[in-house]
Amino acid sequence: MKVIKNYLYNVGYQVLAIIVPLITSAYVSRVLRPEGVGANSFTNSIIQYFILFANMGIGYYGNRQIAYVRENREQMSKTFWEIQIVKTIMTLYAFVAFEIFMIFYTRQPEYMWAQSLNLIAIAFDISWFYEGIEDFKVTVLKNSLVKILSMIAIFIFIKGPNDVTLYIIVLALSTLIGNLTLWPNIRRDLDKVSIRFLNPWQHFLPMAELFIPQIATQVYVQLNKTMLGVMVNETASGYYQYSDNLVKLILALVTATGTVM
């Protein structure tokens, strides 16, 4: 029964994460126009490369490691903080790389800086921990509420084609706030651990081993939008994203099973 409940929670959230943009798409595409939608799609595809580096396979690895030790609260607490330290450091490296990239990037840089909020948000993403202890309810309910609030914010604040930056910020802040809402539960679910007992770098190589195949499965998803933006224009990237969202709506039913199992 627990597997079924977790599946329903996870698939519900995956579908919601795709449906919300579909609900707002008619409004956003009319208000921001295809050019604005495409600008968001193109710049978001670029920031995803830095997010991929910051994540470093931690989602899969952390989920698995927590599942191994979840019956031992002390060991689970130690494992969580070790992995989270590595993730924070990798996010800092990714942000430095992003700042270097921005020295050379001259194509609407204000959109890219707004997208950088997504990179900051990834440092606070601890959904992998709750997946490891099979508590999908916490992540799904809190993130679902934030998604709905972000949808309302879009209808309230996005009013014209000049609001592309604000639109990007609203989407990024919804991700950041959704991640932050999980942290208050950590005090309940974990014990305090002295930093001198932590050995975070023992996890680095196993993370890298999972990260390498993840590059192959993640880069091509974003590369389509990046190539369209570079080779055609940003508007083409926006059209592609909306059609891609329809395909992913069905795919979510399958990926949710893999995460739960």
Write down the pLDDT at residue 228. Answer: 87
Domain ranges of the chain: 2-260
Structure-token pair, residue 231: 């080779």
pLDDT of residue 259: 61
Cα angle 158, 166, 143 (rounded to 5 degrees) comes to 90
> Of 216, 214, 225, whose CA–CA distance to 248 is shortest?
225
What is d(CA 35, CA 145) in angstroms, rounded to the nearest whole number?
Answer: 29
**Residue 237: its pLDDT value, please?**
85
| Residue 66 near residue 80, CB atoms below 8 Å | yes
Give CA angle at 91 (90, 94), nearest 5°: 90
pLDDT means per 10 residues, the chain with 261 residues, are: 66 69 80 88 92 86 89 91 92 95 90 95 91 80 83 91 93 91 88 85 85 77 84 85 74 64 64
pLDDT at 249: 67
Its sign, for the CA torsion 140, 145, 146, 147, is positive
